[in-house]
Amino acid sequence: MTTLARILGLGLLALFGTALVASFGSGSFTAHMIVHMGTVAVAAPLIAYGLRGTRFDPPPGTSRIGPMLASLIELAVVWFWHLPVLREIAEASLAVTLAEQASFLAAGVLLWHACFRPGEGRLAGTVGLLFTSMHMTLLGVLLALAPRPLYGEGGVTCLGISLTAAADQQIGGVVMLMVGALAYLSGGILLLAGILRDDAGLPAEKPRC
């Protein structure tokens, strides 16, 4: 199962990378966000799960990066690259854009791997994913409801559709809000469900005399 997850995750990553190169220069924030969310919320968890049991998977209890620290690292990386000045720099250089997406991937794999790691405790993983869902939701809402475009002016083309800069940013914010928040929220709920299922299967404690 882990091998299949790893192959599927790497295949999707290659697909998103191809889409990134193909859409570069369009100026579309929505296209950027589709690749971003596909990388961190779809490919990253598959790759992270696929690393379990490999030489890249540290023994339980030996990693110094727990779920909450990994979540904070992802928060810093995501919010940093969505500062308007950084988006402008990334849109002007394919090399910077690739570095941006590579940092998204690294932060995403780090987070999902920390949350999937048995030795860290599934409760800590649940909290880490739910916290990430919260800050992804917040950033998505801020982008979707911003009173003016933050990333350029004029029209852009996304998937062959002409959009104003304001509409493009709003759609991109909704993509982050829907895909990002849903993926991390679902991951947190699944981990929590596993905790509750295991607790329900424990034998009842015998009463003490």
Burial 104-143 (b: 16+ CB within 10 A, else e): bbebbbbbbbbbbbeebbbebbbbbbbbbbebbbebbeeb
Whether 116 and 49 have beta carbons less than 8 Å apart is answered as yes
Instruction: Quote the pTM value.
Output: 0.86
Tell me, what DSSP letter sits at residue 176?
I
Residue 179 identity (one-letter amino acid): V
Q: What pLDDT is stored for residue 162 in this prediction?
A: 84
For residue 40, with 0-12 CB atoms within 10 Å meaning exposed, 13-18 middle and 19 or more buried, which class applies? Answer: buried
pLDDT 10s digit of each residue in the chain, 209 long? Answer: 788 988 999 999 999 999 999 888 787 899 999 999 999 999 999 999 888 877 777 666 656 788 899 999 999 999 999 999 999 999 899 999 999 999 999 999 999 988 887 655 678 888 889 999 999 999 999 999 998 888 877 778 787 788 888 899 999 999 998 898 889 988 888 888 877 776 565 454 454 54
Q: What pLDDT is stored for residue 155 in this prediction?
A: 79
* Distance (Å, whole) CA 136 – CA 91: 21
* Distance (Å, whole) CA 72 – CA 68: 6
For the chain, the domains span: 2-54+66-193
Whether 69 and 132 have beta carbons less than 8 Å apart is answered as no
* Distance (Å, whole) CA 57 – CA 194: 21
* Angle, vertex CA 102, rays to CA 100 and CA 107, nearest 5: 100
Q: What pLDDT is stored for residue 192 in this prediction?
A: 81
Residue 88 identity (one-letter amino acid): E
Q: What pLDDT is stored for residue 33 in this prediction?
A: 92
* Distance (Å, whole) CA 1 – CA 70: 25
* Distance (Å, whole) CA 81 – CA 90: 8
Residue 69 CB: number of other CB atoms within 10 A?
A: 15
Q: What pLDDT is stored for residue 188 in this prediction?
A: 85
Residue linked to tokens 């649940």: 126
* Distance (Å, whole) CA 185 – CA 171: 20
Q: What pLDDT is stored for residue 204 in this prediction?
A: 45
Q: Following DSSP, what letter does each residue of 109-168 receive, concatenated?
A: HHHHHHHH-GGG-HHHHHHHHHHHHHHHHHHHHHHHH-SS-SS--SEEEETTEEEEHHHH
Whether 71 and 128 have beta carbons less than 8 Å apart is answered as yes
